[in-house]
Chains A and B, each alone.
Chain A
Amino acid sequence: IAGITQAPTSQILAAGRRMTLRCTQDMRHNAMYWYRQDLGLGLRLIHYSNTAGTTGKGEVPDGYSVSRANTDDFPLTLASAVPSQTSVYFCASSDSYRQGVYNEQFFGPGTRLTVL
């Protein structure tokens, strides 16, 4: 693995189903993020994690949950998917502790999710 990986690449999901999007990074970055991107809109932050064991809410957290059990993994869970959660989801990470910055983020390739 090099950088950030996301799985699955794409998924079609029935409304009401539970879904977990996976994100793994091998750069030992302390901070990780989940964004969603909808047509005509910029990326919007869903949840973030400053370090393993801590998480925070972003701009659009409703309907989503995250966990950060270790440095490398940051899964995003949709407990009961709804059609409005159809979007492209991007995971990102940054190394803030070493550089003192949070804003040079590395992004994964994205997961395209369709909820029917």
Chain B
Amino acid sequence: DAKTTQPPSMDCAEGRAANLPCNHSTISGNEYVYWYRQIHSQGPQYIIHGLKNNETNEMASLIITEDRKSSTLILPHATLRDTAVYYCIVRSRGGGADGLTFGKGTHLIIQP
């Protein structure tokens, strides 16, 4: 699986868009970008994933650069409940039931 690089922490004002970057310069053609988050003391929660096109769901948007070497998770109107650690994971879609590799992620703090 390709390695990812994320900033250790970020702040964002409540109501503003939170933009979380992820670098994955060694991503291969069949690997997807997945985002999870973990709110304090809870289990991780799947947010979104994408291959090369931008994706949007009820939680967030995912913007992947044309060369696929980086991506940005966007929370359009951040709330205090979005304070969490956000993990960017790169993996082939049919990668086998051998689990996910979680790095240290980005600790996003939403300020009131």
Contacts and interface: CB of A to CB of B under 8 A. Distances in A.
A103 B102 contact: no
Interface stretch (A13-21, A79-87, A107-115): A107-115
Contacts of A106: 46
A75 interface: no
Interface in A69-95: 90, 92, 94
Interface size class of B (residues with CB under 8 A): 20 to 34
Contacts of B21: none
Interface size class of A (residues with CB under 8 A): 20 to 34
A107 B97 contact: no
B6 to A, nearest CB: 11
A31 B97 contact: yes
Contacts of A56: 97-98
A20 to B, nearest CB: 19
A45 B98 contact: yes
A49 interface: yes
